[in-house]
Amino acid sequence: MKNKTVLIIGGAGFIGINNADYLLSRKYNVILADNLSRNGSALNLEWLRKKWGESFEFIKLDITVDKDKLDVLVAKVDAVYHFASQIAVTISVLNPMHDFMVNAMGTLNVLESIRNSQNKPMLLFSSTNKVYGSMENLGIKPTGDGYRYESLQGINEIQLLDFHSPYGCSKGAADQYVRDYARVFGLKTVVFRQSCIYGTHQFGVEDQGWVAWFAISAILDRPITIYGDGHQSRDVLFVDDLCELYEMALRNISKLSGKTYNIGGGPINTLSVLGTIGRLERILGKKIQASFSDWRVGDQKVFISDVGLIAKDLGWRPTTNIDDGLKKVVNWAKKTKVIFEKLHG
């Protein structure tokens, strides 16, 4: 049987590069598309080239303007993973129009390329838990390791949508378009509402990618700022587990098509900000300098995914233990220290 060809849009970013590496190791034909706007993405691409040589294609494009290039690429693939995004809530507040153009309009461009193609490849879209907003109707309680829900283990897909922040709105609009294109146009699409993903090749910054940002700051001996009280909690998912799931989704798209799934580490992989700092300090054997500042817009006090639906439909569950995942991030950050010094001055 011919190996499948996949297009990864936003393929040089954190999740994209890990997904490309995973799929190349499983003999897929891989095409990456990215505008390389994210600091670190060009370095990720260099790393993948060193590892895999010419065995994948890279096309520089911007999903907001290069619709013609998208049309050409979409026409030759079996599957599209769409990860290209403006990813920071903070930046979306500073420039909502740009955020909308990339996240909402850019996604519509991807959908239209697929709708107008002959082959109509499947589409997996990475959405976000931010589409659920702050869920103020749910009681939360403090625990020894951050906030938890009073009467729930995690949030399932029935939770009401309540887009919060321009980022929440633009990703939420895209999330609904992707779902609707399955319903109205019969495309094979699936939406993954992802919680916090962490792992190697994540060039985390203060605005986004906090687990990596803490590890990088610690390696550089830089102080970090904790926005809020530090008890905010997230279920975290190691990127390798996510890549395994992405590939399962591709093989089982007829089962998943038209559906939306909450994807994260689930209740057993939930950490508070302060708890994460404590674990990193133990792994690094040193103290991380931190100070506190006000809560940021759209920051949920707690978000924990209920991953029961994807477990039921695909039999997938996260398997990476948090400390093992954090150690991998720390080792990668140590190896990449010189690059961070250049990036962060």
In the list 28, 81, 83, 147, the residue contacting ligand NAD (rule: CB under 6 A) is: 83
106 is an interface residue for ligand NAD by CB under 6 A: yes
If the CB atoms of residues 37 and 156 are measured against ligand NAD, the closer one turns out to be 37
Instruction: Give every CB contact of residue 176 below 8 A, 6+ residues apart in sequence.
Output: none
Torsion of CA 211, 240, 333, 57, to 10 degrees: -120
If the CB atoms of residues 16 and 266 are measured against ligand NAD, the closer one turns out to be 16
If the CB atoms of residues 103 and 117 are measured against ligand NAD, the closer one turns out to be 103
212 is an interface residue for ligand NAD by CB under 6 A: no
Minimal CB distance residue for ligand NAD:
13
Could you give the CA distance from residue 54 to residue 83 in angstroms, rounded to a whole number?
Answer: 22
Name the segment binding ligand NAD (CB under 6 A); options: 37-45, 91-99, 149-157, 312-320: 37-45
Q: Give the shortest CB-112-to-ligand NAD separation in angstroms.
A: 15
If the CB atoms of residues 142 and 176 are measured against ligand NAD, the closer one turns out to be 176
**Which of 203, 195, 207 has its CA nearest to residue 238?**
195
28 is catalytic: no
108, amino acid identity: L
E-strand ranges in 55-195 read 56-60, 79-82, 122-128, 140-143, 146-149, 189-194
Could you give the CA distance from residue 123 to residue 265 in angstroms, rounded to a whole number?
Answer: 23
Cβ count within 10 A of residue 183? 10
40, amino acid identity: G
Name the segment binding ligand NAD (CB under 6 A); options: 56-64, 175-183, 242-250, 335-343: 56-64
196 is an interface residue for ligand NAD by CB under 6 A: yes
Record the tokens describing residue 252, joined without a space: 């089982």
84 is an interface residue for ligand NAD by CB under 6 A: yes
Name the segment binding ligand NAD (CB under 6 A); options: 10-18, 144-152, 157-165, 224-232: 10-18
Catalytic position from the list 132, 149, 167, 181: 167
331, amino acid identity: N
16 is an interface residue for ligand NAD by CB under 6 A: yes
Could you give the CA distance from residue 167 to residue 95 in angstroms, rounded to a whole number?
Answer: 10
| Beta-ladder partners of 126 | 192
- What 3 state SS string does 63-122 have? CCCCHHHHHHHHCCCCEEEECCCCCCHHHHHHCHHHHHHHHHHHHHHHHHHHHCCCCCCE
Q: Give the shortest CB-308-to-ligand NAD separation in angstroms.
A: 19
Name the segment binding ligand NAD (CB under 6 A); options: 32-40, 149-157, 281-289, 313-321: 32-40
**Residues assigned a catalytic role:** 167
Residues of the shown chain interacting with ligand NAD in the complex, contacts defined by CB under 6 A: 10, 12-16, 34-38, 41, 62-64, 83-85, 87, 102, 106, 126, 128, 171, 194, 196-197
